[in-house]
Amino acid sequence: MTLTNFRYGDVIHRCFRCGYCKFPINWMDVNNCPAYARFRMETYSCGGRLWLTRAWLEGEIEWSDHLADILYSCTACKNCEVKCPLSFNIDILNMMIAAKSEMVERGEIPSAAKEFLENIQRQGNPYGTSREKRDEWMEGTGIEAYQGQEYLYYVGCVGSYDTRGQETARLLGKVLQKAGVSFGVLGNDENCDGNEVRNLGEETLFEMLAEDNVAQFQGLGVQKIVTLSPHSYNAMKNDYPGFNGVFDVLHYTQLLQELIRNGGLDVSGGYNAKVTYHDPCFLGRWNEEYDAPRAILRAIPGVQFVEMARNRNGALCCGGGGGNFYLDLLGGSEDSPARRRVREACETGANVLAVACPNCLTMLEDAVKAEGLENKLTVRDISEIVGEACVIK
């Protein structure tokens, strides 16, 4: 059986595998496609995946577990789209997602992706943990339920359930409290934002999540949203308007930057460290917000900021996108993108690797342990660094 509904059939042949999709912005090496970096086979690069998809489309190869693993190892980091010199580059990532959609419709996806999506259908989060436990992260924080405050603080699944994610969710809440921001959360009524669901090719489930969330936000009179995760930010800012959900959406780094600039947040407590910053794909390449996190770090006394060789739109993905923080198709090797990334962070001489995404946080922190770099490098979310600078215990 071959692809039947593929909507890019007339353009996919235009990739002639020049290989640019694997480069970072400055041609320093060829390992900026996270899946290619992990496996070092053309197959796993965007060009390789496009050729495989075309072969599948034209009946030259059949679906296999291996083909599914290769397509799902794409983290949707958008490096290929930024680097592809051809005019059809705006569609190459969508082609990957469309190929995954075809696998979803046929039900033939990697077992971890099946589990991920079924857990979201059932419990509204990829972990399959009960919906009734979604608010456990906020115990004892005094954070209020959303009831018409200025901002809806949308936490997301990783912030709500992952132990490390929960710490940043709490700390951001405390920072917002300290700055006197009027905000509330949805607690157990919060549902998955759907960003990764869309990247995994489950279009209808994404539509349902988006429709439900938009209806819920509108029902509550939400106008401004601040998100912990760049993934939520991306879905709500770029996709929800397509479901009549037009909100004023901010990533928390944008809000904190503004609060620091207008004096609403006092960071004079400082943070003494040599800090480098890892751009999350869904804040950076997907939404071109490179400055807010850097501005925050530069504003904190004691922070000595250094860039990694690959930064901004040339940053290497942590390997956690496209659901891979859960699917983990790129783990288990010293070539895993997260491990490459923490080695790169170490080379700057920084002792703190700042992130602005709970997915990157867990991916990179695990990589630091796997590399045995615990004594040299600590991974901190910017919310935690700001928390320390404004003296929150």
Partner 1 sequence: MDIIACIKRVPDTSEADVVKIDPSQKDIEKDRLAFKINDWDEYVLEAAVQLKEKLGGTLTAVTIGPKEWDEVLRRALAMGADSAIRIDQDVSADDPHIVAIILDKVIRRLPYDLVLFGAQSEDFGSGHLGAMVAEILGIPHATLVINLEAEEKKIHVQRELEAGTLQSYTIDLPALLTIHTGINQPRYISMGGIRRAMQKELQVMSLSDLGLSLDALTPMVKLEEMRLPPKGKEAELITGAPEETAGQLAKILKDAGIF
Partner 2 sequence: MSSILVVAEHRNQTLADVSYQVLSKGRQLADQAQMELLAAVAGVDIDAYAKELTRWADRVIIVNNDQLEEPLAEPYQKLIAHLIREIRPGIVLMGHSSFAMDLVPSLSVELGIPLVTDCVDIFWQNGDILVTRSIYNGKANASYSFAQSETILITGRVGEFPVEEGQRQGWIEEIEFAFEEECDYKKFEGYLEVEAAGVDITQAEVLVSVGRGIKEKKNLEIVEELARVLGGVVSCSRPVVDYGWLPSERQVGLSGKTVQPKLYLGLGISGAFQHVVGMKGARMTVAINKDAKAPIFSVANYGIVDDVLKVVPALVNKISELKGRTE
Q: Which residues bind partner 1 (CB under 8 A)?
A: 104-109, 111, 113-114, 117-118, 121-123, 128-132, 202-205, 207-208, 369, 374
**Residue pointed to by tokens 């796997």:** 370
Under rule CB under 8 A, residue 323 binds partner 2: no
Q: Which two tokens stand for residue 63?
A: 């679906």
Tokens coding 352: 């703190």
Contact string (CB under 8 A) for partner 2, positions 332-371, x = contact:
x---------------------------------x--xx-
CB of 374 to partner 2, least distance (A): 10
CA dihedral 34, 39, 45, 50 (to 10 degrees): -130
Minimum separation from the CB atom of position 111 to partner 2 (A): 6
Nearest to 356 by CA among 255, 225, 259, 261: 255
φ and ψ of 368, to 5 deg: -60, -40
Please name the residues in contact with 5: beta carbons below 8 A apart, sequence gap of 6 or more.
Answer: 101, 102, 105
Dihedral angle, C-alpha 135, 364, 234, 193, nearest 10 °? -30
Asked if residue 108 binds partner 2 (CB under 8 A), the reply is no
Measured at the alpha carbon of residue 367, what is the angle toward residues 329 and 314, in degrees to the nearest 5? 80
For partner 2, the closer of residues 115 and 212 by Cβ is 115
Instruction: Kindly tell me which of 129 and 141 has the beta carbon lying closer to partner 1.
Output: 129
327: contact with partner 2 by CB under 8 A: yes
121 binds, options partner 2, partner 1, none, Cβ within 5 to 8 A by partner type = partner 1
Which does residue 118 bind out of partner 2, partner 1, none, counting CB within 5 to 8 angstroms by kind? partner 1
49 Cβ partners below 8 Å, 6+ apart? 43, 70, 71, 74, 96, 99
The tokens describing 263, both together, are 């004096």
Nearest to 279 by CA among 106, 124, 78, 45: 78
**Contact call for residue 329 and partner 2 (CB under 8 A):** yes
Does 250 bind partner 2 (CB under 8 A)? Our answer is no
Of 20-28, 110-118, 199-207, 295-303, the segment contacting partner 2 by CB under 8 A is 110-118
Q: Per CB under 8 A, does 331 bind partner 2?
A: yes
- Shortest distance in whole angstroms from residue 366 CB to partner 2: 7
The residue ranges that bind partner 2 (CB under 8 A) are: 111-112, 115, 326-329, 331-332, 366, 369-370, 372
